[in-house]
A and B are shown apart, each in its own frame.
Chain A
Amino acid sequence: MTSVLTSSSPWARALRKLLRRRAAVFGLAVVVIFVLLASLAPWLATHDPLATSWSALRKAPSAEHWFGTDEIGRDVFSRVVWGTRASLLAGVVSVSISLLLGVPLGLLAGFVGGAVDQFISRLTDAFLACPFLILAIALAAFLGPSLTNAMMAIGVSATPVFVRLTRAQVRDVKVEDYIEAARALGNPPWRVAFRHVLPNVTAPLIVQSTLAVASAVIAEASLSFLGLGQQPPAPSWGSMLNTAKNFVDQAPWMAIWPGLSIFALVLAFNLLGDGLRDALDPRQR
């Protein structure tokens, strides 16, 4: 750690800048806490998240059930802890799908240009013309409701943003002298694209990915809330809120904690993303 902090590579400088921003460090800390919750769920959960209990229906929070119990007597705390897995998984997997699809397409469009660029750009426009969540709902509807399909639907729906961003960055970078030099040395185009252009467009992609995780977490919760994501009885924050909505007058605790968790995780990724933007990409301010 100290060697990273004292060396002065661009990445180390960016990391130092990031760690100086209190909001970003707070965001990072919250993300780390949720990652720990997700990975240690079997040990942190006080109850089996699926175990029902007819003697403990909609019980208010107590020493036994910290966040209370739900409509069929399951422990809300344990379900919130296990639900972290669905949300984090959805955030990370969806954005990975967007990156895997979007970056190569954007690179191709920006680097090759011409008819290829025209085709990819028009296709991107068409995807962007459908509001993000509506497109994700339609995709999830046709693929069938499941967490995996929800992640694919969110990933595909979020791809156009990455295509556009990569394309714009690549077009800026490819006219730089060092790219000209790489070409002049006789590097084949694919090598110039991947070895020389791509590394120089990663900073904005990292920022966008972090913010996209925040949107993907909300999108997964939304799809699960509508019944198109994680299927019951497996715990997810969105589907917990869907049930909680019907018991809000009798068991408000069922709605408070899953919602608060979504809020905290999304806020954390947004703070981290804003911090990364300031640290990595001063031009975007």
Chain B
Amino acid sequence: MWGFLARRLATILPTVLLVSMLIFGLQQLLPGDPAKILAGEEQDPQVIAYLRARLHLDEPLPVRYAYWMGGVLQGDLGESVRTQQAVLDLVIQKLPVTVELGLLAMLIALLIGVPSGIVCAVGRGGVWDTVANAFALWGLSTPNFWLGILMILLFSVQLGWLPASGYVSPFEDLRANLAAMIMPAFVLGNAIAAVLMRHTRSAMLQVLSSDYVRTARAKGLRETTVVLKHAFRNALTPIITLGALELGTLLSGAVLTEQVFSIPGFGKLIVDAVFNRDYAVVQGVVLITATTYITLNLLADLAAFAVNPRLRP
């Protein structure tokens, strides 16, 4: 276990370093002098001079990167040019909202995707298989912001059951929080459910045709025991590893979903930052997102390792 973790970390560290260079390099794409762009409309020479010094713009690129990375390692991701708040504080402020949305969405995706994948594999070619495959195609082809608008149209405008927007903290009022989060979570989970269903189906199909499943059936075990205990457990490894890749879809989708439902999470933070030309915030959020994604994938690898003893040396 520890050796495996060490090996994985050894490949991850250079990746994280390269990611940080890429994100820092984004600055080079800005047309013209970053200090002038960051200074905004007024173009106050004092502000420009301050920003040049603050961002070390007179130094060569590698030196600037070293300054920036040095700060990042100490938790200093720079500050917002608009509000002067530290980027890290802004992210920490917004993150819990997105984490709640992500967890609810993943829960919905798992509850829909995995059971329907199993049902499909067991009844391959049957009615349920066809229905679920159609659902998967729908899930993969529907832009989630459109699905969000349609759900608002149905559940908020027509039926009046759920609020169209307005986030409430779960610590203030859990019921109101869930009422505001259920639609966004479903919208975000929908596409991931489709992918999970496809992975579960193909993993289960592969396992169900193996010899030990035939043996388990020949022993006279009940079909549910065979499917859930013998087959599913072994299909779990590819489901976890491939499912973890969908965490990227989850993070990307959160940006759009939060925009549709006006949820004040980190997706809203990055979109607002883009429009305010608050580049330090954009860089900070992308860096944290990428690091989170890498970490979650590492955790998924460890989980796959835990459920599958054969991966152990």
Among A52-60, A65-73, A125-133, the stretch that binds chain B is A125-133
Q: Interface 1/0s, chain B 132-150, versus A by CB < 8 A?
A: 0000011011110110011
> Whole-angstrom distance between the alpha carbons of A135 and B274 in the complex?
13
A267 touches B26 (CB 8 A): no
A226: nearest residue on chain B (CB-CB)? B271
Known: A226-B255, A259-B146. A126 touches B15 (CB 8 A): yes
> Whole-angstrom distance between the alpha carbons of A227 and B275 in the complex?
9
B29 touches A255 (CB 8 A): no
Known: A122-B15, A122-B18. A137 touches B274 (CB 8 A): yes
- Looking at chain B's contact residues, is the secondary structure mostly helix, strand, loop, or mixed? helix
Known: A132-B252, A226-B271. A263 touches B293 (CB 8 A): no
The answer to whether A276 has its CB under 8 Å from any CB of chain B is no
> Whole-angstrom distance between the alpha carbons of A270 and B142 in the complex?
11
Known: A241-B149, A249-B157. A132 touches B248 (CB 8 A): yes
A144 touches B31 (CB 8 A): yes
Contacts of A139 in B (CB 8 A): 26, 29
Q: Interface 1/0s, chain A 114-150, versus B by CB < 8 A?
A: 0000000011011101111111011111111000000
A126 touches B143 (CB 8 A): no
Q: Interface 1/0s, chain A 248-268, versus B by CB < 8 A?
A: 110010010011001100110
Chain A interface residue number, banded: 35 or more
A125 touches B256 (CB 8 A): no
B145 in complex: contacting residue of A122, A123, A131, A225, CB < 8 Å: A225
- Looking at chain A's contact residues, is the secondary structure mostly helix, strand, loop, or mixed? helix
B286 touches A130 (CB 8 A): yes
The answer to whether A28 has its CB under 8 Å from any CB of chain B is no
The answer to whether B101 has its CB under 8 Å from any CB of chain A is no
B27: nearest residue on chain A (CB-CB)? A142
* Central interface residue in A122, A139, A226, A267, by most chain B CB within 10 Å: A226
29 A-B residue pairings within 8 Å (CB atoms): A122-B18, A123-B18, A125-B11, A129-B293, A131-B249, A131-B251, A132-B252, A133-B255, A134-B286, A134-B289, A139-B26, A141-B273, A214-B140, A214-B141, A222-B256, A225-B145, A225-B256, A226-B271, A227-B275, A241-B143, A241-B145, A248-B149, A263-B146, A266-B141, A266-B143, A267-B137, A267-B141, A270-B137, A270-B141
5 tightest A-B CB contacts, nearest first: A133-B252, A259-B146, A126-B18, A131-B248, A267-B141
A142 touches B143 (CB 8 A): no
Residue positions of B touching A, CB distance < 8 A: 11, 14-16, 18-19, 21-23, 26-27, 29-31, 137-138, 140-143, 145-146, 149-150, 152-153, 157, 164, 248-249, 251-253, 255-256, 259-260, 270-271, 273-275, 279, 282-283, 285-286, 289-290, 293-294
> Whole-angstrom distance between the alpha carbons of A270 and B152 in the complex?
27
> Whole-angstrom distance between the alpha carbons of A173 and B11 in the complex?
27
B252 in complex: contacting residue of A123, A129, A134, A143, CB < 8 Å: A134
Report the minimal beta-carbon distance from B274 to chain A, rounded to whole angstroms: 4
The answer to whether A244 has its CB under 8 Å from any CB of chain B is yes
The answer to whether A22 has its CB under 8 Å from any CB of chain B is no
A252 touches B157 (CB 8 A): yes
B274 touches A228 (CB 8 A): yes
Within 8 A of B (CB), among A144-182: 144
B137 touches A129 (CB 8 A): no
Contacts of A195 in B (CB 8 A): none
Report the minimal beta-carbon distance from B36 to chain A, rounded to whole angstroms: 14
> Whole-angstrom distance between the alpha carbons of A125 and B15 in the complex?
6
A23: nearest residue on chain B (CB-CB)? B137
A143 touches B29 (CB 8 A): yes
Known: A248-B153, A255-B146. A138 touches B23 (CB 8 A): yes
> Whole-angstrom distance between the alpha carbons of A137 and B282 in the complex?
9
Contacts of B15 in A (CB 8 A): 122, 125-126, 129
> Whole-angstrom distance between the alpha carbons of A263 and B249 in the complex?
18
Contacts of A144 in B (CB 8 A): 31
The answer to whether A221 has its CB under 8 Å from any CB of chain B is yes
* Central interface residue in B141, B251, B259, by most chain A CB within 10 Å: B141
A264: nearest residue on chain B (CB-CB)? B141
> Whole-angstrom distance between the alpha carbons of A94 and B30 in the complex?
21
B149: nearest residue on chain A (CB-CB)? A255
B142 touches A263 (CB 8 A): yes
Report the minimal beta-carbon distance from A141 to chain B, rounded to whole angstroms: 4
